Amino acid sequence: MVSANTPGPRSEFVMNAIQETSKGDVSLVAVYGATSFDLFHVGESVRTAFDSRSDLVSHLSDLAEETRREFMERGLFSGLSPVQNSVEYRFEDEGDYAVLQVYCGGRGMLLFVEEDEPVEPLVKTASHLLGGM
């Protein structure tokens, strides 16, 4: 069982697995735990969409917190306490890219991908990287 407070997977391992799984361009990869946030890859299109790195990190931190809260509340209100192996995800089209958020065992991954990217393979890869399934 992996704690959300322990260090996450190594950057090169994450990037290799995501690039092998993805059919298209992945313009952002970030992993977060209960107390940490690791930005593994920021593509040029994402860099130009934000005024500064601090604006990007602030935006991603807000997404991560929203995801944590939503998935934890959903688990609690459904009568099930969140467990290490449960995997939740959300996929939203943001116009120039789509945001895939995967949450598993208190740890999450944010991916900015192309709008037509097949989601299920990336969710499976992300959940493995996060220590689930």
How many structural domains comprise the chain?
Answer: 1
In this predicted structure, what is the pLDDT of residue 22? 96
Residue 5 is assigned to a structural domain of this protein: no
The pTM assigned to this predicted structure is 0.79
State the Cα–Cα distance between residues 103 and 75, nearest whole angstrom: 12
Say if 76 falls within a structural domain: yes
Q: What are phi and psi of 48, to 5 degrees?
A: -75, -20
φ, ψ of residue 60 in degrees (nearest 5): -65, -40
The residue range of the domain holding 51 is: 11-129
Evaluate whether residue 115 is within a structural domain: yes
- The answer to whether residue 123 is domain-embedded is yes
DSSP per position, 22-87: -SS-EEEEEEE-SS-EEEEEE-HHHHHHSSSHHHHHHHHHHHHHHHHHHHHHHHHHTT----TT-E
List the CATH number of the domain containing 65. 3.30.450.30
Q: Is residue 48 part of a domain?
A: yes
Q: Over the stretch 82-130, which tens digit does the pLDDT of each residue have?
A: 444 577 888 998 888 899 999 887 788 999 999 999 999 999 999 999 8
